[in-house]
Amino acid sequence: MALAISMFHTIRKLAKPNLFWKIFLWFWLATLLTLISVIFLYSMTSKDTRLVPITAKESEQLRQTAITIQLRHVIEEYQNGLPIQPNGTGKELDNTFIINNQGYEISGKVVPEVIYQLSAFYKQRNRAATVTINNYSYSGPEIVFSRGQYYLLFIKQKSQQHFSTLVSEFFHSISIWQILAALGISFLVCFALAWYLTRPIHQLQKATKAIAKGDLQARAKDFIGKRADEFHDLAEDFDLMADRINRIIMSQKRLLSDVSHELRSPLTRMQIAASLAQKNSQAGSDPSNCSHHIERIEVEVERLDELIGELLQVAALERGQQHQQVDTFVVNDLLDVIISDAQFEAAANAKEVIFVDSPMIQFKGYYNLLARSVENVIRNAIRHTPEDTKVTVAIMDAGPHFSIIIEDEGQGIDESHLDKIFEPFYRPTEARERSSGGTGLGLTIAKRGVEVNGGTIKATNGSNGGLLVTITLKKNRKAS
């Protein structure tokens, strides 16, 4: 029973109109059409053809001609020694050849060589045949007896179906086994070619099914093998896509884990503060203690609100959602506004933000996103530069591009962590731990905002030991 079910599924799969059978049938059809085209072209250019068996129509014409000759006593006149004119016995006999047993035409006509070929074929096969030369067909022989002697009758006529005659010649010149062998060979060649072309597609299908089942490490190159054609390029593109999907999914998982961790800490502190406030209230203690715990809860609520707001902004940037139009603005003016606000925050902590004199740059992009990106980087620098130090901001003109350079005087970051600080909730060193403030999403938002504006952001360690962040954007034109 199981074997029958397996055979049923196999037959059903083979019968399904898939790409393999389409390619195979088209190749096979192309092979047959090529064969027919060769026969046709050959028939258009060929001056002669080989012998083929006589048709029923031609055989009937031979018999009718033989009857006419006997009714007109043409052969009897020849036997009686009377002269026979080649064209004197009627128009219907003009294209006849009557050969005696010595091989001569009884009326003295010039006998084409093909007549002797038909005669030799008859002696070998004991059957009449037809051969076409220069659009004329010669058929025969028909045996005519007269006074105990036999004569071979041949007829000549205009060939109206040279192509069909050639096809008939082709199929009668080979055996059925030769035809089957040719069809079998073409079948195997077309089958192998179709298999060779469709096999990589099936291998890619295996890779896609593996990924669909949750194996994110599956790659097309592991299935497709060593090839050096377009399928290899397609497999590389597929693997790049799979790597990208894997990174996105892993990033989402890591983000979910980080968000859960980040939310747990303020919620725990809120729970502790609420519990302490409840105990103090029940114990009738000093109301100032309850007020202190309530203030703590408000602080944690503000942090949660800030965290959720930034998470929503990261999600919007990831989806490519923009809620503003593209504007043309002067980058220097944007930095003046941001640095003015940042200086107020820095001065409260004995720090300073300095905007170095820079060339005027005009840029076309999303003003608010770029402003938020630069502001996040500057505020991050303020948090991590020591007291009585400064954060330096400058614009560098680099031909078709320009760069916004922000450098602090903090402890810098280990080289192995520089590419990771733009990931959500990534904190590389003790100097940049949670106690420094922030949600851990500022630089992530900065990176997404810069990328939306068509630029790049990069972090390196500056010459003074602090962190140096470079935002590079394509320049539209200099401000006038």
The pTM assigned to this predicted structure is 0.48
pLDDT (0 to 100) of residue 107 = 80
pLDDT (0 to 100) of residue 47 = 47
Give 184's contacts (C-beta < 8 A, 6+ positions apart).
none
Q: What is the mean pLDDT of each run of 10 residues along the chain (480 residues)?
A: 51 54 75 70 54 79 83 76 58 75 81 85 85 80 84 81 55 64 77 76 80 78 71 80 80 70 71 77 67 77 73 66 75 91 86 90 88 88 89 90 91 81 67 51 82 90 88 68
pLDDT (0 to 100) of residue 471 = 94
pLDDT (0 to 100) of residue 468 = 92
In whole angstroms, what is the distance from residue 281 CA to residue 265 CA? 24
SS3 of the chain: the string is: CHHHHHHHHHHHHHHCCCHHHHHHHHHHHHHHHHHHHHHHHHHHHCCECCCEECCHHHHHHHHHHHHHHHHCCHHHHHHCCCCCCCCCCCHHHCCEEEECCCCCECCCCCCCHHHHHHHHHHHHHCCCEEEEECCEEEEEEEEEEECCEEEEEEEEEECCCHHHHHHHHHHHHCCHHHHHHHHHHHHHHHHHHHHHHHHHHHHHHHHHHHHHCCCCCCCHHHHHCCCCCHHHHHHHHHHHHHHHHHHHHHHHHHHHHHHHHHHHHHHHHHHHHHHHHHHHHHHCCCHHHHHHHHHHHHHHHHHHHHHHHHHHHHHHHHHCCCCCCCEEEEHHHHHHHHHHHHHHHHHCCCCEEEECCCCCEEEEECHHHHHHHHHHHHHHHHHHCCCCCEEEEEEEEECCEEEEEEECCCCCCCHHHCCCCCCCCCCCCHHHCHHHCCCCCHHHHHHHHHHHCCCEEEEEECCCCCEEEEEEEECCEECC
pLDDT (0 to 100) of residue 335 = 92
Bridge partners of 365? 327
